[in-house]
Structure 1
Amino acid sequence: MTENVTTTGAGGVQSVERAFDLLEVIAASGGEAMLSELATATGLALPTIHRLLRTLVATGYVRQLANRRYVLGPGLIRLGEGASRQLGALARTHLATLVQQLGETANMAVLDGDRVLYAAQVPSRHSMRMFTEVGRRAHLHDTGVGKAILAQLTDAAVRSLVTAAGMPAATTMSITTPDALLQDLGLIRSRGYAIDDNEQEIGVRCFAMSVPNAPTPTAISVSGPVSRVDEAFGTRAVPLLRAAAEAISHDLNRAP
């Protein structure tokens, strides 16, 4: 028996693309949305949305609350954890090389909705060092990896993300307005790397760089106490970060 499957012009399966569109809209709406909101955002007919949601609910990727709103389901957590582990394993060798070369903690993070998600870390051997739990989500505007990721996006996309997430001040050095953030992102784009200078935690400095051509916006960083991570450290770190980012990009995009 053959199955009649509608494909898109790019060769994809239309129903699969539409299902992911619904998941993206729910995620962009803060993790939950009404049926009418899904229809407005996607332009799909209500019967089509109902059919797709029934499948997503049955598979655990969406739940329906008592108030009839749809929310992201636990099935996505399993997928996300698996993807994060795979991505982290791929990058860990390159992060370990950075730690050997620079002596400070190295991280990799990806864009996750309106936050940054730490996907991998190799810690420094120093007793006083930076530690960020893998799987932790943080704001984009006050982290080195977050700003390196934002610098890859359009100004309109940046404003949308930070408006949705808010821009709380973690320290007195944090950037707290979209205009000031966009000014900093312009500098990041021109020089090719980001700096978190006491912006998330006083006494900590971080140099970060985006991973080119990653499937999802991704960045790596090295961070540590300001007493060790100074201007001279940055001079050494930037070319090593660039080499690591290019190596990770190559691994992400090489043919299986």
Structure 2
Amino acid sequence: MSRGAAVVTGGAGGIGRAVTERLARDGYRVASWDLSQDAPRADLALAVDVTDDTACAKATAETLARLGPIRALVVNAGILGPVARSWDVPLAETRRVLETNLLSGFATTGAVIPAMLRNPMPDRGRIVLMGSAVGKEGSAMAGAYAASKAGLMALAKVLGKELATEGILVNAIAPTVVRTAMETTLDPAQRADKLRRIPMGRFAEAAEVAAMVSFLCGPDCSFSTGAVFDLSGGRLHD
């Protein structure tokens, strides 16, 4: 039985593809919202600038028309940005990271939540925001990325409280480095440093992130909202 439609932003990327595939296996009809339409695991692949509220509103309408009621939203679109000291990064680059990683969360939830609120109670939908261990720790050389992910996790906490009695559960995930194309952009010294700080001695797999998303979008998650779930191999401790 179909669970309804699920929207995955950044669905053409490594984590996005894994999440799309997993939610499809779970019974969702999945729409990828990404600048790229190369999302073969999605039922619907839309070219969407997720920093643009008008584009998100249009994509919501098209997703509803083609896939039916939206029951899950995974805010996953993100970029790393320059690896440099915060004061050395041009403001335009900082703004680009904040818009892609954080403002897209406001744009996409702002478009999808009103549609979810039209779903019948008591279970109107699930929202998962992709935070980061970096957003908790404030890693050096990643000022805009850390700030954007910290903001996204704060947004999950806020929305969890705002929607707690509305039948919509909102949670975030805080992964450490995930083995995707983004991970390959790290220089050897950065890679070794990040790996050293993970007690399990390895990076996360995209499928492991997707499994956490699956739980948060599934029926077994029924009393968690406004939470940030660690996916760091023991790196995080708060």
TM-score, length-scaled by structure 2: 0.29
Normalising by the residue count of structure 1, what TM-score does the alignment of the two structures yield? 0.28
